Structure 1
Amino acid sequence: MKRPIYFCKSWFRAKKKPTEVWTEEQAKLAHMKKQSYTVLVDSIERPYCFMEIADKVVGVGFLDEHLRESLSYDFQEIEPGKLFLTMAIHREFDGETDIVVSGISYIFKQDGTVHMRREFFNPHRFETAATSSDVSMNYAATPDFGEYDDFIRVERS
C-alpha cells in the first residue's frame, strides 16, 4: 500500500510544521523545474518523515513521536540520475525536550569507507572512528515525481 504524501515549501524544524502547504500541481511544477520542494509522508501535521528535494540532492528527516528530527539522510547526485547516501545523522534527545544530548554522524564514501563522529553535548566531547562497509544499498535513482518509497526506508542494508 502506498503511503499518503503531501507537499509543502519546506518543513520548519523549530516550529515542527510545514511552511506553505502546496498542491500536487505546485510540487510537480517545482520538480519539473528542478526547484526545491518538500514531501511530507503520512500526514501534514504529524508526518512520519519529510523529504527535501532539490536539484541533485535529496534530504530525508525521520521524525520521532515529538516531531523531532531523530534521523536524517543526505543523498547527493554522483552521476545523472543516480544518487548516493553520503551522510546519516542520528540524534538523541533529553527526555521529551528538543535538547540534543548526543548525536552520531556517518559519512559514507563510494569506496566503502565510513567515518563516524559521535558527539556528546553536556559535557562536550566527541569520539571519531573509521571503518569500511558494504555501501551498495546507499545508491538510489533520482526520484520521479511521487515515487519516494526508496528514500523513506530507515534500514538501508
Structure 2
Amino acid sequence: MIWTYCEQWNNLTETPMESLTPEQARARHVSGQLYTAVASPDEHSAPVLRVEIRLETGYASVIFMDEHGRDSLDYTFTLTNGSLFLETATSYDYGDSEERGGYADAERMESYEFTTDGIMRRTVEVDGEESRESRNGIDVTSNWESVPDFGVYDALIRRERA
C-alpha cells in the first residue's frame, strides 16, 4: 500500500483537503490532532481506503472505498481504557448506480452499534424505511484494537472482523 496524508478527505471531489507531509501527519498523530491517511494499491491507482485519526477526542475511523470512490464500509472506533473499541460498523450498498464519490446516495445502509458490555444494535435502512433489532451477550473481543503507531495501520484496517 502507498500511504499519503491529508487533514481530511473530500468525498465530493475525491481529493485530499490540505495535504500533509508524512512528518506533518506524524506530528498530528503524536499531538492527537486530526489527520487522514489515504491508502492506494500503487502510485497510479485510486484510493481504496482511508484512516481518520483524532486521538485528542478518542476517535479513529477506517473507511473502505469502492471502485467509484464511494464509502462502502466504515468502522468507527472510540478510545476506551487506552485501547480502540469498534463502536460502529456501517456498510453502504449503491445498487447499480455508478455515481461517483459523495454524489451517490446509498440504496441500503446497514449499521451495527456495539457496547463494551456486549450489546449490539442493528439498523437497516432501505429507501427511507428503517428496521432495528438489538441483541445482548455479544462477544466483542474482536472489537478491540491497540492504538496504532503512526503509519502502522495493519491491525486497524482489517476488513474481516468476526
Normalising by structure 1, report the TM-score. 0.90
Equivalent residue number for residue 93 of structure 1: 94
Pick which of 69-78 and 92-101 moved more.
Answer: 92-101
| Partner of residue 17 from structure 2, selected from 16, 19, 25 | 19
Distance of 2:155 and 2:161 partners within structure 1: 9
Unaligned runs of 5+ in 1: none
Which of 121, 136, 144 is matched with 2:141 structurally?
A: 136
Partner SS, residue 146 of structure 1: coil
For 1:16 and 1:49, locate their aligned partners in 2 and report how far apart those are by CA, in whole Å.
12
Deviation at 1:93, TM superposition (A): 0.9
Alpha-carbon deviation of 1:29? 1.0
More off after superposition, 30-39 vs 131-140 = 131-140
Deviates more, 1:30-39 or 1:132-141: 132-141
Q: Which amino acid letter does the alignment assign opposite residue 50 of structure 1?
A: R
Relative to total residues, which structure has the larger strand share, 1 or 2? Answer: 1
Residue in 2 that maps onto 1:59: 61
Aligned position for 1:125: 129
Long gaps (5+) in structure 2: none
- What does residue 48 of structure 2 align with? 48
TM-score normalised to structure 2 length: 0.88
C-alpha displacement of 1:89: 0.5
Quick check: 107-116 or 60-69, which moved more?
107-116
Which one-letter code corresponds to 1:99 in the other structure?
D
Identity of aligned residues (%): 32
How much is the aligned-residue C-alpha RMSD, in angstroms?
1.5
Could you tell me which residue of structure 2 aligns to residue 107 of structure 1? 113
Q: Distance in 2 between matches of 1:126 and 1:37?
A: 33
Superimposed CA distance per residue, residues 21-75 of structure 1 (whole angstroms, 9 cap, x where no aligned partner) = 2111110111111111000112676111001100211011100000100110100
SS at match of 2:155: helix
